[in-house]
Each structure stands twice: as C-alpha cells, then as structure tokens.
Structure 1
Amino acid sequence: MGLLRGLRIKLGLKKDPLPPLPGVEIGRHTYGLSKRSFFVPHENVPVRIGSFCSIGPDVLFICAAEHRVDTATTFPIQFVKGKIRNAPGTGGKGPITVGHDVWIGARSIILAGVAIGNGAIIGAGSIVTRDVPPYAVAFGNPARVIRYRFQPEIIERLQALEWWNWSDDLIGERVELLTATDVDRFLSMVEPA
C-alpha cells in the first residue's frame, strides 16, 4: 500500500476496503473494520459482528491464534507444510460474537470465545477475555463490567424491540426518537401495543 493511500485511510479520508475473510460476517452499517482488524481469521473460529456497530481504530479480533502448551513445541508447526485445516490446535477457544449496536473503543482486543451483547460499550484499550452482557459498559485489562447503560427493564424492552432489524426507511422516520435521551419515551412511542 502506498504511503499516501495509507495516510488517507488512517485519517479516515479514504476507506480501506474489507475483502471477504474466511469465517467473518459483518452486519449492515457497521463501520471501522479493515482486514487488519482480524488476526488469523479462520472458518473454524467464526466472527459474527452485528449491525450498527461502531468499531474504533486499531481494534483487533484475535481469532485462531492459540499456541499449544501441552505439546513438544509451542510453535504452530502445522503451518510449515500447509496442514492448517486438520491439524490439532489450529482453532481458537470458540467463535467471537458481537451483538448489534455495540461500540468498541480504539485499540481494544477481543479474544476468541467471547460474546459481546447488544448495545454494549467496550472502553478504549480494553482486552475482552470473557463475555460482556447486553447494554453493559466494560473496560480494562481484562475488561470488567463497570455499569449498565440502562435499568434492567429498559434493557429487556430494547432487546425485545430489536430496532436494528428495522428497515432503513423506518429508522430514517424514527431517527429523532432513536437519538433522544429519554429512552423510556422512545420505547413507549415505538413498542407494539
């Protein structure tokens, strides 16, 4: 990649196109990802990122990069002869799942086997080693839940509403409600009777 192109991508003036990656699925309107966001993407360790997620710069999803400690070598020797598909130890600890409307701060690291719930916020520089519940705010190394964005009843109602599945037209009609700070009022106005 040329120096000028790389600088434009870093400054956000040009998008770094995200080619199809093995085992990676990304929902609509999610932004901030590039091929450098995924370390060893692999079909055996799927990464599923929901819609309307905001991913900060230099966030890294570590997929299948576990080194065995119970064998004669910690080196991933199966790569030497290209036997990655069937060699033991090439998978991670499980899939990475990021719900909808999740905000992951800059330079965070998400490890294999982790699920981040809908509406969660991950603070910048965090290392996520375990699941984060819906609408939780978590940060640190390792990331820990420090609070929830809303009361449990509001979280339950938001989960049931699933606004991220609305059409773009419906979201456009309700953008003022979606961005209002009175979430209870928003829910009262849009929940089915």
Structure 2
Amino acid sequence: MAYIEKHIQIVDVQWGENVKVVQPVNLYGCKIGDDTFIGPFVEIQKEVVIGKRCKIQSHSFICELVSIGDDCVVAHGVMFINDLFQDGKPAQGDKTKWKRTNIGNHVYIGSNATILPVSICDNVVIGAGSVVTKDITESGVYAGNPARKIRNLA
C-alpha cells in the first residue's frame, strides 16, 4: 500500500519580533505579529494574519482566510472554519466557495469554540464550547450554540 508522508513543519512564515513557538506546530504561509505566543499542536494555514501580543493555545486550527487582531487569545482546541459546505459537500479546494473570518482586537475565544466565517468586533469574549455562526457587531460576552450575547463586559 502506497502513502504520502508529510511532516509537521514551519514554512514561509513572516515573523514579528519576540514570537514564541512551542513545537510541534504546523505553520505555513502566515504572518505572526510581535510578542505573540503559539502553543503546541497548532496549525495555522497560509494567508492567515495574527496580530501583536496574541496567544494561540494548543490544539487550535486556524484555516486560510482568517485575520486576528491585536491582544487576542485563542484558547485550547479552537477551530476556525472557512468552508460552509454550501453545495451540501466540501468545496474540495475550490477557494471561491470559502468565506473570510475577521477577528477584532481584544477578542478572547474560549476553549473548544468553533468560529464559522464571521466578523467579530473589538472587545468580545466567546465562551468555551460556543459556536459563532453570525457576525458580532457589539462588544460583550457571547456563549452557546449558536452563540448569543449573554451580558455586557464589565
């Protein structure tokens, strides 16, 4: 039986100053801002932009077409999605069917949250395990499936 072997690697990354990375990770074609921390078992795909002073914790997946602002936290096991299976099946690499996600500044995403292609404004907290299916245009704390605003920030 034949197979193709691939290795975890870091390729073609634009680094800011003082970035810390804990191996193993799979980072390729992305841009990582100053003073950002990337934990182990993280995959960040090409054309992703991560701002300054962010924390991307272990086992998180950040797919193409995601932009994350400054001073953000992506907790353990967060998944970003860019393919909504709009034809009832995966886009199978057809990037014209993929959608973009934009995360503002000072956004904190709790463990095991799933972020569909949305825009999230500045100063937002997403509760652990939440599924964000729609744009968030007002700061506050959001939780649930689908995520909804549960309170204002203090």
Give TM class, smaller chain: 0.5 to 0.7
In the alignment, which residue of structure 1 is the partner of 2:136?
A: 132
Higher helix share: 1
Once the two structures are superposed, the pairs formed by residues 64-143 of structure 1 within 5 Å of their partners are: 64-69=83-88, 74=89, 76=91, 84=94, 90-92=96-98, 94-112=99-117, 114-143=118-147
Contact 1:53 1:103 in 2 (8 A): yes
Compute the displacement of 1:38 (Å): 2.5
Compute the displacement of 1:16 (Å): 4.4
In the alignment, which residue of structure 1 is the partner of 2:12?
A: none
Contact 2:60 2:75 in 1 (8 A): no
| 1:19 paired residue among 25, 28, 32 | 28
The percentage of counterpart residues that share the same residue type is 32
Change (3 A) 1:67 1:15: same
Count matched residues. Answer: 120
- CA RMSD for the aligned pairs? 2.7
Structure 1 stretches of 4+ moved >4 Å: 33-36
Q: Which amino acid is the alignment partner of residue 138 of structure 1?
A: Y
Change (3 A) 1:91 1:75: closer
Higher strand share: 2
Cα separation, 2, equivalents of 1:23 and 1:111: 17
| 1:37 paired residue among 44, 48, 61 | 61
Q: Which amino acid is the alignment partner of residue 54 of structure 1?
A: V
Q: Which runs of 5+ in 2 are unaligned?
A: 1-6, 9-20, 30-44
